[in-house]
Amino acid sequence: MLAARAVSPVVGIALLLALTVVTSSVVAVGALDLAAEQTAPPQATVDVRADGSTGRIIVTHRGGEAIDVDELELVVTVDGEKLRRQPPVPFFSARGFVSGPTGPFNAAADQRWTAGESASFVIAGTNAPTLSPRDVVVVTLVVEGRVVASVRSVATGQSVASSGSTLSLPAPRSPAMSGSGSSSGSTLSLPAPRSPAMSGSGSSAGVLATSSSPPGTRATVVMATSGS
């Protein structure tokens, strides 16, 4: 009778230990599965285009799993410097950005970002640094603290500048000057017109003599006529 009473507590303790071990194992496995589900980011491929003339950045989902934009964080750098204000996707109006982003980045759109869809936003002039042609842009996608993708692009666009130089073109050739000579800034000499008062039986050969005297000096004109 005493032996049976001594064995009962030992069996009870062993059962409690076994139950504790089994319960702990189940809880540990469940916790690991839950942690894996929470930390595994979606597998996706994206590309980025940037327009330095307008400040627009376009991100295209090229393939892979869908991304929930409500859980997405964008980190944008321009020439290695982070934007002072990052795009708070999804949004419609936000400081540092032009209102009305497109695609899933717009708060009014479907927030499930799938392959083939593009989303864009425009950096406003009140943000810093501003986007210019040939700037290097890097867009990093983060979901629940895990990086999904980080893509680099060089901003396109043209910067128009005036050099202030003057373009010299050759003077157009006048139809009346179509002769053997060329008109490259030279002076065309024509014979003096025949005066009506000198028309008669005789011939008139009018010669115009021009003086190269300084301004203000009277020029002398000599005309020779011959009668019959």
Instruction: Check whether residue 76 and residue 103 sit in a common domain.
Output: yes
Identify which of 144, 117, 115 has the alpha carbon closest to the alpha carbon of residue 41.
144
Q: Are 52 and 69 in the same domain?
A: yes
The pLDDT of residue 40:
79
Tally of domains within the chain: 2
Up-side HSE of residue 92: CA atoms within 13 Å toward CB?
A: 3
pLDDT in tens, 15-37: 666 666 656 554 444 544 554 45
Ranges of residues in the chain with a pLDDT under 50 are 2, 26-29, 31-32, 35-36, 160-168, 177-178, 180-184, 186-189, 197-211, 213, 217, 219-228
Contact 154, 90 (CB under 8 A): no
Q: Residue 194: what pLDDT?
A: 54
The pLDDT, as a whole number, for residue 153 is: 97
DSSP letter for each residue of the chain: -HHHHHHHHHHHHHHHHHHHHHHHHHHHHHHHHHHHHHH----EEEEEEEETTTTEEEEEEEEES-EEGGGEEEEEEETTEE-SS---SSBSS-TTB-S--BGGGBTTS-SEE-TT-EEEEEB-TTSSSPP-TT-EEEEEEEETTEEEEEEEEE-B-------------PPPPPGGG-SSS--SSPPPP-PPPPPGGG-SSS-EE-------PPTTSPP----EE---
- 112, 131, 154: which is the final residue of a domain? 154
Structure confidence at residue 225 (pLDDT):
47
- Quick check: is 175 in a domain? no
Domain encompassing residue 140? 44-154
| pLDDT score of 18 | 66
Identify whether 81 is part of a domain: yes
Do 108 and 133 fall into the same domain? yes
- The answer as to whether 106 is a domain residue is yes
Task: Write down the pLDDT at residue 75.
Answer: 98
CB atoms under 10 Å from CB of 66, counted, come to 15
Q: Is residue 215 part of a domain?
A: no
Q: Is the peptide bond before 87 cis (omega within 30 degrees of 0)?
A: no
Give 38's contacts (C-beta < 8 A, 6+ positions apart). Answer: 144
pLDDT of residue 228: 42
Residues 74 and 124 in one domain: yes
pLDDT at res. 41:
83
SS (H, E, C) 68-103: EHHHEEEEEEECCEECCCCCCCCECCCCCECCCCEH
Do 63 and 150 fall within a single domain?
yes
Q: How far is CA 191 from CA 13, 160, 176, 194, 199, in A?
A: 138, 52, 14, 9, 17
Query: 135 and 79 in one domain?
Result: yes
Q: Are residues 22 and 65 in the same domain?
A: no
- Under 8 Å between Cβ of 132 and 154: no
CATH number at 96 reads 2.60.40
Residue partners of 170: CB distance under 8 A and separation at least 6 = 184
The Cβ of residue 73 has, within 10 Å, a number of other Cβ atoms equal to 17
Same domain, 32 and 120: no
Q: Cα 120 vs. chain centroid, distance in angstroms?
A: 12
pLDDT score, position 107:
97
For residues 56 and 99, membership in a common domain is answered with yes
Residue 163 falls within a domain, yes or no? no
Do 31 and 58 sit in the same domain of this protein? no
Give domain status of residue 204, yes or no. no
Same domain, 54 and 146: yes
Position 171 in a domain? no
Question: Do 22 and 70 have their domain in common?
Answer: no
